[in-house]
Each structure stands twice: as structure tokens, then as C-alpha cells.
């Protein structure tokens, strides 16, 4: 009787375990899609200087390192974005990959920006790494790093 009970228990575990995997995968896919959409929202908000939206996407202790190695806090980056001497004409993301680790998402990808700064044209081709964390039930960026790829 004991062998029968153990066998039945093992059978139940093996039968039900795969049932939960699709739900977990579906949830992970949904979270990854949410983070990807937030990345796109960040890019559009940056391009159009939508400060309130940007502020809502960044954690209070957000830090970003840009191409020349300069670091900005949340307030510093928002001030940088609000600078009217810069006009962003094109801001595009590509090759985005989202990796989930519990309540943290690591996003890697490519970024292209073209515009004008102080009346002079500029163009950037960057690689990015963004770290998102689910804080109080919503995803916020806690850190970001942009760099120019070696040619």
C-alpha cells in the first residue's frame, strides 16, 4: 500500500509539474513584453521631451552613464533631456533582448539617435544596457549604460 501511495504521488507530481510551466513562461513573456514597451515609451518620451513620463519611468535613485562616460542622476538626466539647445530628430531602438531575473529585467540592445545640438548636426550609434526593477508593482529603470561600439 505504501509503494502504491508513493507511486501515485510521484505520478501526480510528474503529471502536474509541466502544467505550471506554460503559465510561468506566459507570465515571463508578458513581463518581458511590458518591459520592451516601456523601453520604447522611454525612447519616445526622450525624443519629445515628455518630462513627466520620463520621471515616472525612472526610480528615484536612477543613474545613467552616457557615451562619454558622464553619469547623471534622475534629476540630472531629466534636466539634460529638457535642454532646448538639443533637437532629437530620430531616436530608434533595435536588437532589444529582455532577460528576466525575478523582479529585475536586464535589457540589451542598439540605439540610434540623430539630431542637432547647438545648431550642429550629430549622430550616435550606441549599444545599451538598461536595468529595470519591479518596485511597488511597477517596472522602473534603476540603471542605464550607453556606449559606442568599437568599429
- Strand, helix or coil at 53? helix
532577460: which residue's cell? 99
Contacts of residue 32, Cβ cutoff 8 Å, sequence gap at least 6: 98, 100, 105
Average the pLDDT over each of 7-21, 41-55, 67-81, 106-120 and give the range with the smallest value: 7-21
**So what CATH class is 2-147?**
alpha beta
Q: CB count, 10 Å around CB of 12? A: 10
Which of 54, 23, 12, 39 minimizes the C-alpha distance to 111?
Answer: 39
Q: Which helix (H) or strand (E) holds 77?
A: helix 74-82
Give the pLDDT confidence score for residue 22 in this predicted structure: 55
pLDDT bucket at 21, cuts 50 / 70 / 90: very low
Least confident of 10-14, 43-47, 137-141: 10-14
Tens-digit pLDDT profile for residues 29-61: 899 999 999 999 999 999 999 999 999 999 999
pLDDT at residue 73 greater than cutoff 60: yes
Domain boundaries, the chain: 2-147
Average pLDDT over residues 119-130: 97
User: Can you tell me the mean pLDDT for 120-148?
Assistant: 97
The predicted pLDDT at position 24 comes to 53
Unique residue bearing C-alpha cell 532589444 = 96
This prediction has a pTM of 0.81
Mean pLDDT for all residues in the chain = 88
Amino acid at each position: 500500500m505504501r509503494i502504491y501511495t508513493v507511486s501515485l504521488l510521484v505520478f501526480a507530481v510528474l503529471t502536474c509539474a509541466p502544467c505550471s510551466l506554460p503559465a510561468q513562461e506566459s507570465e515571463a513573456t508578458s513581463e518581458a513584453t511590458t518591459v520592451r514597451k516601456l523601453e520604447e515609451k522611454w525612447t519616445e518620451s526622450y525624443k519629445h521631451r515628455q518630462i513627466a513620463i520620463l520621471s515616472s519611468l525612472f526610480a528615484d535613485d536612477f543613474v545613467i552613464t552616457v557615451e562619454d562616460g558622464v553619469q547623471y542622476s534622475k534629476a540630472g538626466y531629466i534636466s539634460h533631456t529638457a535642454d532646448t539647445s538639443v533637437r532629437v530628430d530620430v531616436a530608434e531602438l533595435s536588437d532589444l533582448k529582455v532577460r528576466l531575473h525575478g523582479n529585475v529585467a536586464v535589457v540589451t540592445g542598439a540605439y540610434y539617435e540623430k539630431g542637432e545640438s547647438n545648431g550642429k548636426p550629430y549622430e550616435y550609434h550606441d549599444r545599451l544596457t538598461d536595468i529595470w526593477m519591479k518596485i511597488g508593482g511597477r517596472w522602473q529603470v534603476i540603471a542605464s549604460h550607453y556606449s559606442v561600439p568599437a568599429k
